[in-house]
Every structure is written in C-alpha cells, then in structure tokens.
Amino acid sequence: MDELLPRTRISRRTTLGLLGAVATGSLVTGCRETTTGGSIGITGDYSLTDWVADRGDRYLVAHRGVGDVFPEHSMESYDAAVGWGVQAMEVSVGITADSVLVCMHDTTLDRTTNLTGNLRAVKYSQLEKGWLQIPRLGPQWAEKKLKVPLFEDVLRKYGGRVILAIEAKDERAYAPMMAMVAKYRLESAVMIKTYFKSKLIADVKSLGLGVFAYFTTPDEMTPETIQSVAAQLSPRTDAIVVPNAGPGGYLDASLVEAAVATGIPIWPYPLHRRADVAHYTALGMQGSVTSNLGYILGKTEQVTTDQWAAGAVVSGELTRDPYDDRFAVSWGRGGSIGLAAKGTQHFLTLGNLGPITSPVYSVEFQASFAALPADPLASLSLAFGHEDDSYYENRIGTVSGYHAILQANGELGLWAHRSGQRPGVKLAVRKSAPVFAGEWMRFRLDVTPTTLTWSRLDHPTKVTVEDKTYRGGYLHLGRASTDGSLALRGLKVTRTP
C-alpha cells in the first residue's frame, strides 16, 4: 500500500468484521465503564498521515514512555514523554484473567511490579492492589507506588494527540485491543507493532493501518529477511525497527546498509545516548526509538551537582545499559551511590552535567572503596574531555580523551586515551597515601585551556601536566576494575566562563 492513510477514519464495522470481534453492544473487553449507542469520538485529530508529513528527517519515538528514568509503561512515563514533545510512542498491551486491557511489556508481573506470576492469571482487582516496582530506577519510585495503567485510559488521554504504536503482548489481547481502538475511532492514529515474522502484518495492512515491524536480535537479520519484511510494507505508513546491538555495541554496518536500502523508514531501538542517535542518523536512519527522550532532545536541565540524594535515576545519567539490572547503581545513605557490578567495569556517563563548554572548570567528588579490588593496580577513574556521550570504560579503545585515576595501591595518575588504541598514554603519576576499605577520599580535577591538575584532597597530593589536546565535552566516573565496590557522593562541577 503506497498511498497515505486517508484522513477519514476506517469504519468501525470494517475493522471489527475483519477481526471477528464481538457484537456492537459490548465492543471492548475489560472497560471500567460500559458504552452504548455505538462508537465514541476520538480524543484528538492527529493522524499517522499528519505525523509522516510533519516529522521531517530526524525524529524520535518514545520507548516504554521514558523507560530509562520513569517506571516503564506507567502513565507518568507516558506523560513525561509527551511533555518533552514526542509525537509518537510505543505502548505494550496485556490482558488480565478477567479480560481487562492494561499497559505492560511482560506477560509476567515479576520484573516490573511488586506482584508475581502471570498477568493473565490475575484479576484486575488483584492487580490494582499492587504497584509498579523497578529497583534499578531508585528507591524514590517504590515510595510512589504507581499503578499499572489501563489501556483505555491511555487511549482517552493520548489517542489522536500522538501516534500510538500498540502491541498485544498476549495473543488474547489482540482482538479486544483492536476493538477498543475502533471504539474510540483511532484507526488512523495508531500503528500496530508486531514481530517481523508475524502473520498479523498482512492482516493489518489489509485494514489500511500502519505497521511497526521489529527484529529482536541481530542474528535474525539478513539481507533476505530484511527485504522480505520490507516487501510487505510502505515507506509512507510503516517502519522496520532494528535492535541497537552488535560488535562494538552498534548494529553491524552491513545490516544497517541493507535495511536503509529498502526505502522503508528504519528505526533503531532502544537508544539511550545522544551519540547513539548521531551514529544511526549518519548511516541514513531518520527515526530512533528512545527511552531517554528528554535528555536526547536537550529538554532536561544541565545541572552542576549530582541528584543522588533524591534516590532516583535522572535523565542523562547512564550506565552501560540502563535497562540491564546488572549495571544498576545501589543507593546508600547521605546521598551516596554504589558501583558494584560483578565481573565487569562499572561506569556512569554523567550526561546530565554535560556537555561542558567552559574553557576553565573543576570537578569535585568523594569516593570510598567499600571493598577493595583484588588487583592493586585497579582504579577508580574520572574520564573527561570526551566530545560526545559514547559509552566509556578503561582500555575499551573507542573514544578519545583523558582519565584521572587513583589505583588501589595509592598511585595518583593522569592519562590520555585515543579512539582505536586500547592502551592509554601516561601523562603524570605520583604516589599518594594508601587506600583503605571504607575510607572516604576527596578528589578535585582542575582544567584550564593549557593545563590539567588532578588532586587528592584528603591526603594532599596532586599531579599537573601541560596538555591541551582535548577539552570540554562529557564526563564519566566509575570503577575500572571487575571486582570491588566503589561508593560515590558529593559530585560537583564548577564552570568558569
């Protein structure tokens, strides 16, 4: 189908007839309110046709609302995404034992709520007694006890205001989900999200609806499978959505090239960093599916201190993978956090404090090894002078800048690193006082247009070098060891114009 969606709505009768849905008097399964007298008017008049015409060549789609920083698929997460200006967002739809449609990614309750078991095995009255609970987002959210939203409430609030890419996560939810879309006459304001192998694609296209067809892993993608999906889709109404994963972190360039060559809009997901969007945009992908919308759009405030005392992850403060619990920070007393991922380095990208553009600035923080790394040469590390917010850890060899370190043996050092070269370049080192488990240490980095000074303040020691290769940009702070536990607090950046 190569024509734009018509601005007139696809008839409710046609939609329900093709779906084999229930009779007119009971269109929607699981509504809190019954509706009589036919379909309900839409809540807005923004259509897929409008979005395609408006969105230009760089646009974002919200993933689970703003899933990096709000409990995913909560009304609050959707509110934040729309508040930051998104024009399209994906919405996962599940169904309870008594056929109530709710917004939830998983078919089980364990990962995102304080309940356990299968969603389809609990009644909505039971689900209402629980709340959303995602520990990696911080203890603040547990106190709020946000509820799993009803799909109907999302349609009522955002239908016809933004494009909703909706997916039934349980096959039992599909027909009532589509019936509810028809009830609110939102057929022209939704895309149907489905797996690239799904037989639903043909059915959805026969209804004249947009399709959001996704791959889950790079292993599923070949030029042949990409072309097979593309042949079913239209560049005017549909999209192929591909995983942000592969060698070096990004999807292999040959797969990107094959996807872009189809002419169908290609959207990588889920993107967390500004650098991720820039990478794929440069390769010809116009849209991106992101779970950190406010930060990537630059709508969030650039701060000068950490917000760890609030007990919640904030936009732009990024672990290696913000969706992966293995890299989650722990939350301590007195505004402290802990970095203790097992078997891997553990860093935070401090995008909320950057990019730094001042020619003169300083960074101060406190750190403590709750458990020392086994290797006395392992270190805490502050990386700086990075031109973008690409993921950093020591000796990864993919970004350029500096790192200021304190090794477990007490050696203070300034080093440089360059993209394409794993070993760093030693600039200056000096022995400081021994490091003891549980001892809080204080540090300060001072940057001028020509010099770098790295100081340990609790036992006064410093190293200074003249070097002006890299300036400004983004900061990363963490534990450059695969064991031990590092605590941080009191982070502050002072900029001088």
Pairing of strands 461-466, 421-431: unpaired
The number of angstroms, rounded, from the C-alpha of 51 to the middle of its chain's C-alpha atoms is 22
Round to whole Å and give the CA distance between 163 and 190: 5
Round to whole Å and give the CA distance between 203 and 228: 16
Cβ neighbours for 333, distance < 8 A, ≥ 6 positions apart:
none
Confidence of residue 247 (pLDDT cuts 50, 70, 90): confident
Identity of the amino acid at 163: I
Whether the per-residue pLDDT at 28 is higher than 50: the answer is: no
Summarised one tens digit per residue, pLDDT across range 380-439 is: 999 999 999 999 999 999 999 999 999 999 999 999 999 999 999 999 999 999 999 999
User: 74, exposed or middle or buried, with CB in 10 Å at 0-12, 13-18, 19+?
Assistant: buried
User: 280, exposed or middle or buried, with CB in 10 Å at 0-12, 13-18, 19+?
Assistant: buried
Round to whole Å and give the CA distance between 379 and 363: 18
The number of angstroms, rounded, from the C-alpha of 303 to the middle of its chain's C-alpha atoms is 20
The pLDDT of residue 39 is 54
The pLDDT of residue 37 is 41
Summarised one tens digit per residue, pLDDT across range 443-466 is: 999 999 999 999 999 999 999 999
Whether the per-residue pLDDT at 13 is higher than 50: the answer is: no
Summarised one tens digit per residue, pLDDT across range 146-192 is: 999 999 999 999 999 999 999 999 999 999 999 999 999 999 999 99
Round to whole Å and give the CA distance between 289 and 59: 9
Round to whole Å and give the CA distance between 447 and 329: 28
| 283, 260 contact by CB (below 8 A) | yes
Cβ neighbours for 303, distance < 8 A, ≥ 6 positions apart:
352, 353
Q: Specify the residue for token string 């646009």.
A: 59
In this prediction, residues 253-274 reach a mean pLDDT of 97
Whether the per-residue pLDDT at 248 is higher than 80: the answer is: no
How many other C-beta atoms are found inside a 10 Å radius of the C-beta of residue 323? 17
Number of residues assigned to the chain: 497
- Secondary structure in 3-state letters for the chain: CCCCCCCCCCCHHHHHHHHCCCCHHHCCCCCCCCCCCCCCCCCCCCCHHHHHHHCCCCEEEECCCCCCCCCCCCHHHHHHHHHCCCCEEEEEEEECCCCCEEECCCCECCCCECCCCEHHHCCHHHHHHCCECCHHHCHHHHHHCCCCCEHHHHHHHHECCEEEEEEECCHHHHHHHHHHHHHCCCHHHEEEEEECCCCHHHHHHHCCCEEEEECCCHHHCCHHHHHHHHCCCCCCCCEEEEECCCHHHCCCHHHHHHHHCCCCCEEEECECCHHHHHHHHHCCCCEEEECCHHHHCCCCCCCCECCHHHCCCCCCEECCCCCCHHHCCEECCCCCEEECCCCCCEEEEEHHHCCECCCEEEEEEEEEEEECCCCCCCEEEEEEEECCCCCCCCCCCCCCEEEEEEECCCEEEEEEEECCEEEEEEEEEEECCCCCCCCCEEEEEEECCCEEEEEECCCCEEEEEECCCCCCEEEEEEEECCCCEEEEEEEEEEEEC
Question: How much is the mean pLDDT over the chain?
Answer: 92
Summarised one tens digit per residue, pLDDT across range 295-305 is: 999 999 999 99
The answer to which of 12-26, 30-44, 69-83, 161-175 has the lowest mean pLDDT is 12-26
The model's pTM: 0.91
* DSSP-assigned beta bridge partners for residue 476: 349, 383
Round to whole Å and give the CA distance between 142 and 417: 40
| 481, 293 contact by CB (below 8 A) | no
Whether the per-residue pLDDT at 3 is higher than 60: the answer is: no
Q: Specify the residue for token string 């992966």.
A: 324
Summarised one tens digit per residue, pLDDT across range 190-205 is: 999 999 999 999 999 9
Stronger pLDDT, 95 or 17, i.e. the higher one = 95
The number of angstroms, rounded, from the C-alpha of 131 to the middle of its chain's C-alpha atoms is 21
> Residue 403's closest CA among 454, 360, 337, 357?
454
* DSSP-assigned beta bridge partners for residue 407: 379
> Residue 192's closest CA among 183, 12, 184, 202?
202
In this prediction, residues 273-294 reach a mean pLDDT of 96
What b-and-e string marks burial along 17-40, b requiring 16 or more CB atoms within 10 Å of the CB?
eebebeeeeebbbbbeeeeeeebb
Round to whole Å and give the CA distance between 382 and 476: 6
In this prediction, residues 5-18 reach a mean pLDDT of 35
Whether the per-residue pLDDT at 111 is higher than 90: the answer is: yes
The answer to which of 37-51, 258-272, 477-491 has the lowest mean pLDDT is 37-51
